[in-house]
Amino acid sequence: MQYRKLPHGKEQISVIGMGTSSIGKSGEREIEATVAMALENGINYFDLASADAAPFAPIGRAVAGQRDRVYFQVHFGADYQTGQYGWTTDLETIKRSVDWQLSALGTDYIDFAFLHCMDEMEDLRTALEGGTLAYIRELQKQGVVRHIGMSSHTPAVARAALDAGVLDMLMFSINPAYDYHREGEFAIGGVEERMELYRRCQAEGVGISVMKAFSAGQLLNDRTSPFGHALTEYQCLQYALDKPGVLTVLPGMRNRSDLKRILGFFDASPEETEYSVLGTFAPQEAEGVCVYCNHCQPCPAGLDVGLINKYYDLSRAGDALARDHYAKLARKAGDCIGCGHCDRRCPFHVAQSRRMQEIAAYFGA
């Protein structure tokens, strides 16, 4: 397992976490066994926005005795008191549901308290001003809540939450279909607006946990993929993990067999995880935009083209650390010999050799 550090904390979060949206139907024994297997394999991050109440108790049993090794994303606004999932912004219902969730999990604290599913500005306003945020902050003072987060599919709402300066973590839907194709209920905002959000999160130290990395399975099938070509789970995972700000991707797992397949990501070859094929069917607006995929490697001058571009974009987005990170690179844009290999190889038609000159001028090296 690989881990990434939460910028606003000490937590080291596994790059693959576990989504529990569809595990509820598998039965208590399978849920418990799946979570136990996830823990054995180093997964330590669990999202609890489930489709029903069934997973809470078995998850609690599976982590008993090792609660301090595990991070829970608990959603303030997901209500399970009827046994099924319900969405609410009513503060009293939220309080009762959070109590229920803690009790079912057998825990007395929340690692990440999330404002749940904030897709409309009006809902965010209600959460920020109507008492939910104040309630979370009160729990934080009492030591019940460690960090504050929010889940959303809407860049504009996520930006407004960043403006309010309340987030340590953002759960956001990231996949190539939403970023490039604007197709589907949650494909909100153009590629540049979405990339700008990811960069802003990294610049402001807000980690991203990724939901819908496979666009609810739509991307995994030639017939349903908006590109007319299926991508693999491993390509989608790598795609999300390459985005700035992303700490962890949370595929929904139904059982141990799903988990085993997902864990195969760590043994997959570079050919299996690389997603440059996107360049052949991404739309016009993706042209010329570096997505840090490093498909243009190897660079004869030894430059890490993707990383250099990422630090450049992050620094211009206001990430104060990006300039330092860049300064520590052994080979910098100024070392580019202008061979043009990357220009020829880039599936997104980025004029990279020219961009290297621009980056060298910006950083002065």
Question: Which residue ranges make up the site for ligand SF4 (CB under 6 A)?
Answer: 290-296, 299-301, 303, 305-306, 309, 336-342, 346, 348, 350, 352-353, 356
Least distance (Å) between residue 344 CB and ligand SF4: 9
Interaxial angle between packed helices 352-363 and 305-316, expressed in degrees from 0 to 180 and rounded to the nearest 10: 50
Least distance (Å) between residue 333 CB and ligand SF4: 8
Least distance (Å) between residue 310 CB and ligand SF4: 9
Least distance (Å) between residue 359 CB and ligand SF4: 10
Least distance (Å) between residue 331 CB and ligand SF4: 9
- Residue closer to ligand SF4 (CB basis): 134 or 337: 337
DSSP 8-state symbol, 53: S
Least distance (Å) between residue 238 CB and ligand SF4: 12
Residue 270 CA to residue 286 CA, distance in Å, equals: 23
- Residue closer to ligand SF4 (CB basis): 134 or 361: 361
- Residue closer to ligand SF4 (CB basis): 28 or 343: 343
Strand partners, 73: 47, 112
Nearest 5°: CA angle at 307, between 301 and 308? 65
Instruction: Say how many C-beta atoms besides its own lie within 10 A of residue 172's C-beta.
Output: 27
- Residue closer to ligand SF4 (CB basis): 52 or 196: 196
Single-letter residue type at 199: R
Interaxial angle between packed helices 28-40 and 256-263, expressed in degrees from 0 to 180 and rounded to the nearest 10: 20
- Residue closer to ligand SF4 (CB basis): 9 or 279: 279
Query: Are 145 and 109 a contacting pair, CB within 8 Å?
Result: yes
- Residue closer to ligand SF4 (CB basis): 86 or 338: 338
- Residue closer to ligand SF4 (CB basis): 323 or 345: 345
- Residue closer to ligand SF4 (CB basis): 9 or 334: 334
Least distance (Å) between residue 316 CB and ligand SF4: 16
List Cβ neighbours of 40 (8 Å cut-off, separation of 6 or more): none
Exposure class string for 248-281: b at 16+ Cβ within 10 A, else e: bbbbbbbbbebbeebbebeebeeeebbbbebbeb
Q: Following CA atoms 314, 9, 51, 186 in sequence, which dihedral angle do they give, to the nearest 10 degrees? A: -10
- Residue closer to ligand SF4 (CB basis): 209 or 352: 352
Residue 339 CA to residue 353 CA, distance in Å, equals: 8
DSSP 8-state symbol, 230: P
Least distance (Å) between residue 250 CB and ligand SF4: 25
Residue 109 CA to residue 143 CA, distance in Å, equals: 7
Least distance (Å) between residue 219 CB and ligand SF4: 19
- Residue closer to ligand SF4 (CB basis): 241 or 356: 356
Q: What is the DSSP string of 214-275?
A: TTTTGGGSTTT-TTSSPPPHHHHHHHHHTSTTEEEE--B--SHHHHHHHHGGGG--HHHH--
Least distance (Å) between residue 111 CB and ligand SF4: 34
Nearest 5°: CA angle at 75, between 153 and 232? 50
Residue 189 CA to residue 203 CA, distance in Å, equals: 20
For 174, the 3-state DSSP assignment is coil
Interaxial angle between packed helices 91-105 and 56-63, expressed in degrees from 0 to 180 and rounded to the nearest 10: 40
